[in-house]
Structure 1
Protein backbone atom coordinates (compact mmCIF):
# COMPACT_ATOMS: atom_id res chain seq x y z
CA UNK A 1 0.00 0.00 0.00
CA UNK A 2 1.25 3.47 -0.84
CA UNK A 3 0.55 6.33 1.50
CA UNK A 4 1.46 9.97 0.94
CA UNK A 5 1.42 12.88 3.36
CA UNK A 6 0.23 16.25 2.07
CA UNK A 7 1.52 18.63 4.76
CA UNK A 8 0.60 22.26 5.21
CA UNK A 9 -0.66 24.87 7.59
CA UNK A 10 -4.05 25.06 5.82
CA UNK A 11 -4.87 28.44 7.34
CA UNK A 12 -7.38 28.18 5.73
CA UNK A 13 -7.73 25.24 3.36
CA UNK A 14 -8.41 26.46 -0.18
CA UNK A 15 -9.80 24.99 -3.38
CA UNK A 16 -6.19 24.67 -4.57
CA UNK A 17 -5.39 22.43 -1.60
CA UNK A 18 -8.43 20.26 -2.27
CA UNK A 19 -7.43 19.95 -5.95
CA UNK A 20 -3.94 18.72 -5.01
CA UNK A 21 -5.41 16.26 -2.47
CA UNK A 22 -7.85 14.89 -5.05
CA UNK A 23 -5.11 14.41 -7.63
CA UNK A 24 -2.75 12.84 -5.08
CA UNK A 25 -5.54 10.42 -4.17
CA UNK A 26 -5.43 9.07 -7.75
CA UNK A 27 -1.71 8.36 -7.39
CA UNK A 28 -1.54 6.84 -3.90
CA UNK A 29 -3.71 4.32 -2.07
CA UNK A 30 -4.12 6.74 0.82
CA UNK A 31 -3.39 10.43 1.39
CA UNK A 32 -3.02 11.99 4.81
CA UNK A 33 -3.49 15.74 4.93
CA UNK A 34 -1.15 16.76 7.71
CA UNK A 35 -2.14 19.92 9.56
CA UNK A 36 1.20 21.36 10.56
CA UNK A 37 2.35 24.00 12.98
CA UNK A 38 4.77 26.46 11.39
CA UNK A 39 6.83 28.23 14.03
CA UNK A 40 7.31 31.22 11.72
CA UNK A 41 3.57 31.81 11.34
CA UNK A 42 0.79 32.88 13.68
CA UNK A 43 -2.31 31.13 12.34
CA UNK A 44 -5.69 32.82 12.19
CA UNK A 45 -7.45 29.50 12.81
CA UNK A 46 -6.50 27.09 15.56
CA UNK A 47 -5.38 23.54 14.68
CA UNK A 48 -8.71 22.02 15.71
CA UNK A 49 -10.63 24.35 13.38
CA UNK A 50 -8.20 23.82 10.51
CA UNK A 51 -8.53 20.06 10.98
CA UNK A 52 -12.33 20.20 11.05
CA UNK A 53 -12.46 22.38 7.94
CA UNK A 54 -10.02 20.15 6.05
CA UNK A 55 -12.05 17.06 6.94
CA UNK A 56 -15.21 18.73 5.69
CA UNK A 57 -13.53 19.92 2.49
CA UNK A 58 -12.22 16.45 1.64
CA UNK A 59 -15.06 14.28 2.94
CA UNK A 60 -15.91 13.32 -0.66
CA UNK A 61 -12.44 11.82 -1.13
CA UNK A 62 -12.65 8.31 0.34
CA UNK A 63 -8.91 7.67 0.54
CA UNK A 64 -8.05 11.00 2.18
CA UNK A 65 -7.87 11.54 5.92
CA UNK A 66 -6.76 14.50 8.01
CA UNK A 67 -4.43 14.45 11.03
CA UNK A 68 -2.43 16.98 13.01
CA UNK A 69 1.34 16.80 12.69
CA UNK A 70 3.18 17.04 16.00
CA UNK A 71 6.91 17.63 15.62
CA UNK A 72 8.99 17.00 12.51
CA UNK A 73 7.21 16.09 9.30
CA UNK A 74 9.59 13.19 8.62
CA UNK A 75 8.83 11.67 12.02
CA UNK A 76 5.10 11.96 11.30
CA UNK A 77 5.70 10.28 7.93
CA UNK A 78 7.47 7.40 9.66
CA UNK A 79 4.63 7.07 12.20
CA UNK A 80 1.93 6.79 9.53
CA UNK A 81 4.03 4.68 7.16
CA UNK A 82 4.21 7.24 4.36
CA UNK A 83 6.01 6.33 1.17
CA UNK A 84 6.08 9.94 -0.09
CA UNK A 85 5.40 13.56 0.73
CA UNK A 86 3.24 15.47 -1.76
CA UNK A 87 3.56 19.22 -2.28
CA UNK A 88 1.55 21.40 -4.63
CA UNK A 89 3.39 24.03 -6.63
CA UNK A 90 1.75 27.16 -8.03
CA UNK A 91 4.93 28.45 -9.66
CA UNK A 92 8.69 28.81 -9.49
CA UNK A 93 8.70 30.66 -6.18
CA UNK A 94 6.97 27.69 -4.52
CA UNK A 95 9.59 25.36 -6.00
CA UNK A 96 12.40 27.54 -4.68
CA UNK A 97 10.95 27.24 -1.16
CA UNK A 98 9.97 23.56 -1.34
CA UNK A 99 13.10 22.10 -2.96
CA UNK A 100 15.44 22.61 0.04
CA UNK A 101 12.81 21.13 2.35
CA UNK A 102 12.42 18.11 0.05
CA UNK A 103 16.17 17.59 0.02
CA UNK A 104 16.38 17.89 3.82
CA UNK A 105 13.52 15.44 4.33
CA UNK A 106 15.18 12.94 1.97
CA UNK A 107 18.51 13.46 3.76
CA UNK A 108 16.94 12.82 7.17
CA UNK A 109 14.92 9.69 6.37
CA UNK A 110 15.10 8.85 2.67
CA UNK A 111 11.50 9.86 2.02
CA UNK A 112 10.90 11.37 -1.40
CA UNK A 113 8.79 14.43 -2.19
CA UNK A 114 6.49 14.44 -5.19
CA UNK A 115 5.64 17.85 -6.64
CA UNK A 116 2.25 18.33 -8.28
CA UNK A 117 1.68 21.40 -10.41
CA UNK A 118 -1.36 23.37 -9.33
CA UNK A 119 -4.30 23.81 -11.66
CA UNK A 120 -3.92 27.04 -13.66
CA UNK A 121 -7.47 28.06 -12.77
CA UNK A 122 -6.53 27.92 -9.06
CA UNK A 123 -2.88 28.97 -9.11
CA UNK A 124 -3.60 32.50 -7.88
CA UNK A 125 -5.18 31.21 -4.68
CA UNK A 126 -2.98 31.21 -1.58
CA UNK A 127 -4.10 30.98 2.03
CA UNK A 128 -2.22 34.18 2.85
CA UNK A 129 -4.05 36.06 0.09
CA UNK A 130 -7.38 34.60 1.18
CA UNK A 131 -6.78 35.79 4.75
CA UNK A 132 -5.74 39.23 3.52
CA UNK A 133 -8.83 39.62 1.32
CA UNK A 134 -11.03 38.53 4.23
CA UNK A 135 -9.31 40.95 6.66
CA UNK A 136 -10.22 43.79 4.33
CA UNK A 137 -13.86 42.74 3.98
CA UNK A 138 -13.56 40.98 0.61
CA UNK A 139 -15.58 37.90 -0.34
CA UNK A 140 -13.43 34.76 -0.20
CA UNK A 141 -16.14 32.16 -0.77
CA UNK A 142 -15.09 31.55 -4.40
CA UNK A 143 -11.62 30.48 -3.25
CA UNK A 144 -12.38 28.15 -0.36
CA UNK A 145 -14.58 25.08 0.22
CA UNK A 146 -18.06 25.50 1.67
CA UNK A 147 -18.07 26.65 5.29
CA UNK A 148 -14.47 27.86 5.29
CA UNK A 149 -15.34 31.47 4.49
CA UNK A 150 -17.71 31.66 7.45
CA UNK A 151 -15.05 30.21 9.76
CA UNK A 152 -12.47 32.75 8.59
CA UNK A 153 -14.90 35.64 9.00
CA UNK A 154 -15.81 34.39 12.47
CA UNK A 155 -12.16 34.17 13.50
CA UNK A 156 -11.56 37.70 12.25
CA UNK A 157 -14.51 39.04 14.27
CA UNK A 158 -13.02 37.57 17.45
CA UNK A 159 -9.69 39.34 16.86
Structure 2
Protein backbone atom coordinates (compact mmCIF):
# COMPACT_ATOMS: atom_id res chain seq x y z
CA UNK A 1 0.00 0.00 0.00
CA UNK A 2 1.37 3.41 -1.00
CA UNK A 3 0.66 5.65 1.97
CA UNK A 4 1.65 9.33 2.08
CA UNK A 5 1.51 12.00 4.77
CA UNK A 6 0.54 15.64 4.40
CA UNK A 7 1.83 17.18 7.65
CA UNK A 8 1.19 20.67 8.94
CA UNK A 9 -0.03 22.87 11.72
CA UNK A 10 -3.31 23.55 9.88
CA UNK A 11 -4.37 26.35 12.22
CA UNK A 12 -6.79 26.67 10.53
CA UNK A 13 -7.21 24.25 7.63
CA UNK A 14 -7.85 26.38 4.52
CA UNK A 15 -9.30 25.77 1.09
CA UNK A 16 -5.68 25.91 -0.13
CA UNK A 17 -4.86 22.95 2.11
CA UNK A 18 -7.96 21.17 0.84
CA UNK A 19 -6.87 21.84 -2.75
CA UNK A 20 -3.53 20.12 -2.05
CA UNK A 21 -5.38 17.16 -0.50
CA UNK A 22 -7.67 16.87 -3.51
CA UNK A 23 -4.68 16.90 -5.87
CA UNK A 24 -2.62 14.44 -3.82
CA UNK A 25 -5.29 11.89 -2.85
CA UNK A 26 -5.52 10.21 -6.29
CA UNK A 27 -1.76 9.64 -6.31
CA UNK A 28 -1.72 7.33 -3.27
CA UNK A 29 -3.70 4.45 -1.82
CA UNK A 30 -3.99 6.39 1.42
CA UNK A 31 -3.24 10.01 2.29
CA UNK A 32 -2.93 10.97 5.95
CA UNK A 33 -3.40 14.63 6.79
CA UNK A 34 -1.45 14.85 10.03
CA UNK A 35 -1.66 17.74 12.46
CA UNK A 36 1.61 18.68 14.08
CA UNK A 37 1.52 19.40 17.77
CA UNK A 38 4.20 22.03 18.16
CA UNK A 39 4.55 23.34 21.72
CA UNK A 40 6.53 26.33 20.41
CA UNK A 41 3.53 27.70 18.50
CA UNK A 42 0.42 29.31 19.95
CA UNK A 43 -2.40 27.92 17.80
CA UNK A 44 -5.95 29.21 17.98
CA UNK A 45 -7.30 25.66 18.03
CA UNK A 46 -6.10 22.60 19.91
CA UNK A 47 -4.99 19.51 18.01
CA UNK A 48 -8.30 17.64 18.49
CA UNK A 49 -10.31 20.60 17.17
CA UNK A 50 -8.04 20.98 14.14
CA UNK A 51 -8.35 17.25 13.45
CA UNK A 52 -12.16 17.43 13.65
CA UNK A 53 -12.26 20.42 11.30
CA UNK A 54 -10.03 18.61 8.81
CA UNK A 55 -12.11 15.42 9.04
CA UNK A 56 -15.17 17.47 8.17
CA UNK A 57 -13.40 19.09 5.19
CA UNK A 58 -12.09 15.81 3.73
CA UNK A 59 -15.08 13.61 4.59
CA UNK A 60 -15.97 13.12 0.92
CA UNK A 61 -12.52 11.80 -0.04
CA UNK A 62 -12.49 8.08 0.76
CA UNK A 63 -8.75 7.45 0.98
CA UNK A 64 -7.93 10.47 3.15
CA UNK A 65 -7.62 10.10 6.91
CA UNK A 66 -6.58 12.44 9.71
CA UNK A 67 -3.95 11.87 12.39
CA UNK A 68 -1.60 13.90 14.58
CA UNK A 69 2.00 13.70 15.67
CA UNK A 70 4.64 15.51 17.64
CA UNK A 71 8.38 15.46 17.39
CA UNK A 72 10.35 14.95 14.22
CA UNK A 73 8.50 14.27 10.98
CA UNK A 74 11.14 11.71 9.98
CA UNK A 75 10.44 9.61 13.08
CA UNK A 76 6.70 9.68 12.40
CA UNK A 77 7.36 8.95 8.71
CA UNK A 78 9.36 5.84 9.48
CA UNK A 79 7.10 4.64 12.30
CA UNK A 80 4.02 4.79 10.03
CA UNK A 81 5.80 3.42 6.92
CA UNK A 82 4.93 6.31 4.63
CA UNK A 83 6.35 6.30 1.11
CA UNK A 84 6.14 10.04 0.66
CA UNK A 85 5.62 13.42 2.30
CA UNK A 86 3.24 15.76 0.47
CA UNK A 87 3.88 19.49 0.74
CA UNK A 88 1.84 22.24 -0.83
CA UNK A 89 3.54 25.28 -2.30
CA UNK A 90 1.90 28.60 -3.15
CA UNK A 91 4.87 30.53 -4.50
CA UNK A 92 8.64 30.62 -4.82
CA UNK A 93 9.12 31.58 -1.16
CA UNK A 94 7.15 28.52 -0.05
CA UNK A 95 9.20 26.37 -2.40
CA UNK A 96 12.47 27.66 -0.95
CA UNK A 97 11.36 27.00 2.62
CA UNK A 98 9.89 23.60 1.78
CA UNK A 99 13.00 22.58 -0.14
CA UNK A 100 15.19 23.46 2.85
CA UNK A 101 12.95 21.34 5.12
CA UNK A 102 13.05 18.48 2.61
CA UNK A 103 16.85 18.59 2.60
CA UNK A 104 17.00 18.56 6.40
CA UNK A 105 14.57 15.64 6.58
CA UNK A 106 16.50 13.77 3.90
CA UNK A 107 19.74 14.31 5.81
CA UNK A 108 18.08 12.87 8.95
CA UNK A 109 16.54 9.90 7.14
CA UNK A 110 17.67 8.97 3.67
CA UNK A 111 14.41 7.20 2.79
CA UNK A 112 12.26 10.35 3.10
CA UNK A 113 10.75 11.35 -0.23
CA UNK A 114 8.87 14.63 -0.74
CA UNK A 115 6.38 15.59 -3.43
CA UNK A 116 5.64 19.28 -3.88
CA UNK A 117 2.15 20.12 -5.08
CA UNK A 118 1.44 23.65 -6.24
CA UNK A 119 -1.88 25.02 -5.08
CA UNK A 120 -4.37 26.09 -7.68
CA UNK A 121 -3.73 29.74 -8.59
CA UNK A 122 -6.96 30.86 -6.94
CA UNK A 123 -5.48 29.79 -3.56
CA UNK A 124 -1.96 31.08 -4.18
CA UNK A 125 -2.31 33.87 -1.61
CA UNK A 126 -4.32 32.04 1.06
CA UNK A 127 -2.48 31.28 4.28
CA UNK A 128 -3.68 30.32 7.75
CA UNK A 129 -2.13 33.52 9.12
CA UNK A 130 -3.98 35.67 6.60
CA UNK A 131 -7.26 33.90 7.34
CA UNK A 132 -6.83 34.45 11.09
CA UNK A 133 -6.01 38.10 10.51
CA UNK A 134 -9.15 38.62 8.40
CA UNK A 135 -11.28 36.80 10.98
CA UNK A 136 -9.76 38.77 13.86
CA UNK A 137 -10.80 42.01 12.17
CA UNK A 138 -14.34 40.87 11.42
CA UNK A 139 -13.87 40.06 7.75
CA UNK A 140 -15.69 37.35 5.82
CA UNK A 141 -13.43 34.29 5.58
CA UNK A 142 -15.94 32.03 3.79
CA UNK A 143 -14.04 32.12 0.50
CA UNK A 144 -10.85 30.94 2.22
CA UNK A 145 -12.13 28.11 4.46
CA UNK A 146 -14.91 25.55 4.69
CA UNK A 147 -18.16 26.53 6.45
CA UNK A 148 -17.28 24.57 9.59
CA UNK A 149 -13.87 26.25 9.84
CA UNK A 150 -15.51 29.66 9.29
CA UNK A 151 -17.88 28.92 12.19
CA UNK A 152 -14.97 27.90 14.42
CA UNK A 153 -13.06 31.06 13.56
CA UNK A 154 -16.09 33.23 14.27
CA UNK A 155 -16.59 31.50 17.62
CA UNK A 156 -12.93 32.01 18.49
CA UNK A 157 -12.89 35.73 17.74
CA UNK A 158 -16.24 36.24 19.50
CA UNK A 159 -14.81 35.14 22.87
Q: TM-score range by the shorter chain?
A: over 0.9
CA distance in 2, matches of 1:18, 1:120: 13
Any idea what SS the aligned residue of 2:97 has?
helix
CA distance in 2, matches of 1:40, 1:128: 16
User: Aligned pair 1:157/2:158, yes or no?
Assistant: yes
User: Aligned pair 1:106/2:96, yes or no?
Assistant: no
CA distance in 2, matches of 1:156, 1:104: 36
Aligned partners of 1:89 and 1:116 also within 8 Å? yes
| 4+ runs deviating over 3 angstroms | none
Tell me which residue corresponds to 2:58: 58
TM-score, structure 1 as length reference: 0.95
Tell me which residue corresponds to 1:135: 136
Tell me which residue corresponds to 1:73: 73
Pick which of 99-108 and 35-44 moved more. Answer: 35-44
CA distance in 2, matches of 1:74, 1:59: 27
Q: Where do residues 1-159 of structure 1 align in structure 2 (5 Å cutoff)?
A: 1-110=1-110, 111-158=112-159
CA distance in 1, matches of 2:39, 2:28: 29
Aligned partners of 1:135 and 1:156 also within 8 Å? yes
CA distance in 1, matches of 2:156, 2:51: 15
Which digits, 9 at most, give the CA deviation of each residue in 1:15-57, with x for residues without a partner? 1101101111111111000101234421111111100000000
Q: Which runs of 5+ in 2 are unaligned?
A: none
Work out the number of aligned pairs and report it.
158
Any idea what SS the aligned residue of 1:53 has?
helix
Which digits, 9 at most, give the CA deviation of each residue in 1:31-85, with x for residues without a partner? 0001012344211111111000000000111000000112111111112210010
CA distance in 2, matches of 1:138, 1:54: 22
Aligned partners of 2:38 and 2:70 also within 8 Å? no
